[in-house]
Structure 1
Amino acid sequence: MIVAVDAAGGDHYPKAPVEGALLAIEENSELTVLLLGPKAQIEKELEGKQYDSKRVLIQDAPQVIGMEESPSSAVKNKQQSSIVIGMGLHKAGKCHAFVSAGNTGALLAASTFILGKLEGILRPTIGAYYPTEKGFRLLIDAGANLELKPEVAQQFAKMGQVYCSNVLGIENPTFGLLNVGEEEEKGTESLKAIHQHIKEMPGFVGNLEGKDILPGKADVFLTDGLVGNILLKFGESIPATIMKLVEQAIAQLDVDKAELGTAIKILKTSLAPFDYERVGGVPFLGVNGVSIVGHGGSSPLAIKNMIKSAVTCVENDVNGKIVASLN
C-alpha cells in the first residue's frame, strides 16, 4: 500500500505532513508513504529522525499552491506542485491514494480534472465528519456543490451511506434531508423536489431540522454545499467558544484549584468528539481514486489519521461499492 502525502500542504508544512507520515508507517507495517513537495525541505525535515528509508519515498514537487490561491488557476498554472504531480501519479497507478491538508478547492479541482469521475457519478462531493451524541456522523455536501438537484442528492445520499458503512463501521446507515421542518411539504421548491425523489430510498428517515444533528438522528445529513459549509464552520467554532465562556465564568466565580482541575478535565472530555484530529480528513466522494482532504491546521496526529482513512477506503473498495450502489 502506497499513500502519497502532500508535504507542501497545510499551515504547518513540511513538519506536520512529514511527522504524520512517519507516525503512519510506524503504526502500519504494510504501508509506504510517498512525500511530495520541495525535495530539499522534505529532506531537511527528515534529518535526525528514525525511520525505514525503504518505506519513505520522496518526489520533488518544487511549486507550492498557497491556501488562498484560486483553485482552478493554481492547478492549471502550477503543474509542478505537489497536488498536481500527486494526482498524476495516483492516476497512473503509482500510488493507491493521495492525502493533503492543503488548498481544498485546488485539491477538489485536481481530483475532478485529473482523476475524473466514477462511472455513473453526476457530480463529486465532499463530506465532513460532524460530532453527535452517538459519535461522528457524515455531513454531505460540505461545500463543493452550492446547489443540489434531486438526482445528484440521491447519489450523494448513496455515497454517504456506502462511506458510513465501510469506513465508519455503521450498520445499515440512515440519512435525512436537512430542512426547516419535518413535514414533507416544508422547504423551498428545490427541497420539496429532492424529498420526492429520495423518499422511497432505503434508510431515509425524512426531513430533519438543525436540532436533530447533534443528537444524531441520522448517520448522513444531506444538504447543499452552502448550508453544509455554514454548519461545518459553525461546528468548528463550538469548542473554542465554549472554552472562552467557561474561562469567563471561572474568572467570575470563586473556584479552588481542585474544583478547577475537575471542571477542566470534564470539559476536555466532553469536547473530545469535536476534535478533528481524531479523524484527520474525509474523501472527495465520486472521483475515480482516493483523495483525502484535511483541515489546514492539521497536526501530525491528524495527518496520520488522514492516511489511515485513505488506507481504509482502499482496503474496503469504497469506490467499487459506490459504483455498485448506483445500479
Structure 2
Amino acid sequence: MHARNFLPDTHPFAAAQRTRLVLALLLPLATLSGCGQNTSAAWQGYVEGEFVSVASPFAGRLDSLSVQRGQQVGKGTALFVLESDDERAARQQAAEQVRVAEAQLADMKTGKRPVEVDVSRAQLSQAQAAAQRSAAQFRRDRQQYDIGGISQAQLDESRATADSDAARVRELQRDIDVARLPGRDAQQAAQAAQIEAARAALAQAEWKLSRKAVAATQAGLVYDTPYRLGEWVPAGSPVVRMLPPGNVKVRFYVSETVVGSLRNGQSVQVHCDGCPAPVAAKITYVSNEAEYTPPVIYSNETRRKLVFLIEARPTEADAPKLRPGQPVEVSQS
C-alpha cells in the first residue's frame, strides 16, 4: 500500500483551485508587529488527507466487497476478495508435489520392499544349487582327466562352469545386502533439496492466494470504493481508498511576519464550522519557501502578500472530527 497526498478532483479545494481559494481567505490577517512576538491572530486553512490505496498485486474479478464508503474499520477488517480459482489450483498442485517428494525420500530410506528381497533370496537358492552341481561335476571331470578319460578342453569347460556358478551366487548375495540398505547419502541429499524446492513453490502459491483476499493493515475511514462487484480489477489497481486517522492534516498559510514564531511541535487550535470545541493539533511542517497571494505583482508594495505554508496534525483521537477539504481557522494555543 502507498500513501498519496491529494484531494478528490471534484472537490472545491482541488489542486488547480486550492491555492487561489485558500490564499484569498488569508488577507484579513491581524496586524502583527514583529517576527518573534506572540499573537492571537487566526489563519485560514483547510483539511487534507493522505489517502492509502489498498490493492492486490494480481488481477481478478471483484467477488466480494465487505466495506462501504464512510465506514470506519479496524485493523484486520476484511476489505475485498478477488476471484482466485487459478491460485487455488496452483496451491493444490504445489501441495501434491511436496507429498510426492517426501514419499520418494521415505522410500529411499527404507530400501527395497520385503517382497523384492524374497525374490532375490529365491534366485540365490537357485544359483547355490547350480553352483553345487557344477562344482561336483568339476571334481568328477578332474578325476577323469587324471586317468585320461577326458580331454583338457572338457576339463577347462567344466572348471569355467563351476567358477561362473559360484560368481553368480556371490552376486546375488551382494544384491540382497544392497536391497536392505537405504539410498545413498548423496541421493537422499538431492531428494531433500527437491522437497525444499517443492515447499518453496507451495509457499509462493499460498502467498499469491492470500493476496486475493485483502484486509486492512490499519484502522481508518473507508473514503472510496472505485470498483463494483463483478468488475475486472487490473493488477495493482486500488479497490479501497482509506484515510487512517494519522494521515489527516491541516494546511494553512501565515504571513512573513509570523512564520518566524512558529516551529515544529508547537500546539495550535483548529476551529471549524459545526465543531463543538476546537481541535488540538501540533505543527509538523513549516515551509522554507515563500508564496505570493494573487495577483502576483513583484514590487515592494506586495511584500505584505508574502505567505508561508504550515502543516499541523491533530491526534488520532481527534482526526475523525475533521474531513478532507473542510475549511478551518487555525490559531495559536
TM-score range, shorter-chain basis? under 0.3
Compare the two structures and name the one with the higher helix fraction: 1
* Structure with more relative contact order (C-alpha pairs < 8 Å, separation 6 or more): 2
**Which protein has the larger Cα radius of gyration, Structure 1 or Structure 2?**
2
Tell me the TM-score normalized by structure 1: 0.18
Tell me the TM-score normalized by structure 2: 0.18
